[in-house]
Amino acid sequence: MKVGSTIKYSVEGVDEQGDFSVVRRYKEFHALAEVLRSRWPGCYIPFIPEKKLRSDKDEQFIEERRSLLERFMKELAKFDYIVFSKEFNIFTRQSGEIDKILQ
């Protein structure tokens, strides 16, 4: 979804607190991945697509990234240590600039 000049991606799911639905920027997914890797070094944390320069009009790029971020979230959901982590909870439940909150 495009909000102004920013691309945002919808994230929906269910955790121990019930349903959640948030909209996040790429940099917030990146911040989640980084903080999870630093908290659990050596544990499997799925990769997210690389940050690439793009044209705001490149719908194919946006759809490809959305699909890869969706796969990232589905992979994360397989691991209880991630789903029940405070970092995942911040990502799925809080508002504001999540990348700054996670740092």
What's CA 56's distance to the chain center, in Å?
20
State mean pLDDT over 7-17: 84
Instruction: Read off the pTM.
Output: 0.85
Question: Which residues contact residue 96 at a Cβ distance below 8 angstroms, ignoring those fewer than 6 apart?
Answer: none
Of the pLDDT bands very low, low, confident and very high (cuts 50, 70, 90), residue 51 is confident
3, pLDDT greater than 60 = no
What end-to-end distance do the CA atoms of the chain give, in Å?
25
Residue 83 token pair? 């789903």
Tokens 């490149």, located at residue? 58
Say if residues 82 and 88 touch (Cβ distance below 8 Å): yes
Q: Where does the chain have alpha helices with state H?
A: 26-39, 59-76, 80-83, 86-93, 98-102
Sign of CA dihedral 88, 7, 41, 80: positive
